[in-house]
Structure 1
Amino acid sequence: MNAFTLLPFIVLIAAMFLMTRSAKKKQQQAAQMRNEVQPGSGVRTIGGMYATVKEVNEDTVLLDAGPGVELLFAKSAIGSVLTDDEYNRIVHGIEHDLKSDADLVPDDASSLTQFHDADEPAAAAAAAASGDKAVDLGKEDADDQEDDVAEAVVAEADEEPKKTDGDSGAK
């Protein structure tokens, strides 16, 4: 036989060996993780249920899924063991943040301004004293807007009605 004829078979066997080796390694890590489960740790089952481990036996695990809800699962049904921070974030919605509370952005923009609405004249005086110029953002007064609307209505009334070919849709 020729060496080039055997080359595809050798490559195929090597690829199969590498794939089974990595799968076996993952299975061993999962089994080790399941054997190291301790009571009190948060887990996710392979079905996607989050619970706290209450008791560990040889082949089974007793999980506390909520107040008064205890479930017995096989150890092989444990999908992953979660850290305390991750479990609290997912189940209780508690974000553990190492940053200070001062870095948080408020829900409304009113606390971001230096002056409040009641202090509007004081804010204008303070802005004038600091040399800041008022910026016109193109906002029109309400009277100007009403005048523009009235002019548009009059302009529409002055236009001649459009002529049609006499075929109206009304019958």
Structure 2
Amino acid sequence: MNIGILLPLILIVGVMFMMSRSAKNRQRQASEMRSKMEPGTGVRTIGGLYAVVKEVNDETVLLELTDGVHAHFAKNAIATVLGEDEFNRIVHGIEPDEPEGLDHDAQAPAADAGDADAKEAGDAGTAEDAPAEDAPIDLSKSDAATPQDSGAPRDGK
């Protein structure tokens, strides 16, 4: 047999073996993750729905979507089992407590010092020139510029 024919066949078989092996690893990891489900844990379904596990059966899981609203899902429909901190951050907007020792204000003086240098040099504008960082942005259409009807056709003819 010619080496030119044999080498591509060996390469194809090797790639197929590696792909099936990685797929088995992903299935194993998914089944381990789903086995960690217990009542009270937060989950995300493959459809992107966030819920709390109420009951785990052999092939189904009972999820509480909101207070008093329950639904049965297949275990395979659970995409991710979330930790308590991550679930609260995503669903309720509760940020986890920061560990002590982290100081977010440590970088603020350096930025203020740069602003002070710019003001001394006369390069800084007034507060009216710069947009306020914390000011809400108004997206109403009343402030938008309305196009003037010039009477000319729009298609350029």
TM-score range, shorter chain: 0.5 to 0.7
Question: Residue in 1 aligned with 2:18?
Answer: 18
CA 1:103 to 1:30, structure 2 compared with 1: closer, same or farther past 3 Å? same
Q: Deviations over 1:127-156 (max 9, x none)?
A: xxxxxxx9484779xxxxxxxxxxxxxxxx
CA 1:99 to 1:4, structure 2 compared with 1: closer, same or farther past 3 Å? same
Question: Residue in 2 aligned with 1:50?
Answer: 50
Root-mean-square deviation (Å): 2.6
Asked if residue 97 in structure 1 is aligned to residue 97 in structure 2, the reply is yes
Question: Residue in 1 aligned with 2:68?
Answer: 68
CA 1:11 to 1:104, structure 2 compared with 1: closer, same or farther past 3 Å? closer
CA 1:9 to 1:98, structure 2 compared with 1: closer, same or farther past 3 Å? same
Structure 1 window deviating more from structure 2 (92-101 vs 3-12): it is 92-101
Partner amino acid, structure 2, of 1:92 = H
- Partners of 1:101 and 1:2 lie apart in 2 by 67
- Partners of 1:48 and 1:17 lie apart in 2 by 32
The count of residues paired between Structure 1 and Structure 2 equals 113
Query: Please, which runs of 5 or more residues in structure 2 have no aligned partner?
Result: 106-111, 113-118, 127-157
- Partners of 2:23 and 2:61 lie apart in 1 by 25
Question: Residue in 2 aligned with 1:35?
Answer: 35
Partner amino acid, structure 1, of 2:92 = H
Partner amino acid, structure 2, of 1:12 = I
Query: Please, which runs of 5 or more residues in structure 1 have no aligned partner?
Result: 106-111, 113-133, 141-171
Report 1:1-171 matches (<5 A).
Answer: 1-99=1-99, 103=103, 135=120, 137=122
- Partners of 2:121 and 2:5 lie apart in 1 by 81
CA 1:24 to 1:136, structure 2 compared with 1: closer, same or farther past 3 Å? closer
Partner amino acid, structure 2, of 1:14 = G
- Partners of 2:3 and 2:120 lie apart in 1 by 82
Partner amino acid, structure 1, of 2:50 = Y
* 1:101 Cα deviation from its structure 2 partner: 10
* 1:14 Cα deviation from its structure 2 partner: 0.4
Q: Identical aligned pairs, as a percentage?
A: 52
CA 1:72 to 1:17, structure 2 compared with 1: closer, same or farther past 3 Å? same
- Partners of 1:89 and 1:71 lie apart in 2 by 23
Partner amino acid, structure 1, of 2:85 = D
Larger radius of gyration: 1
- Partners of 2:34 and 2:100 lie apart in 1 by 36
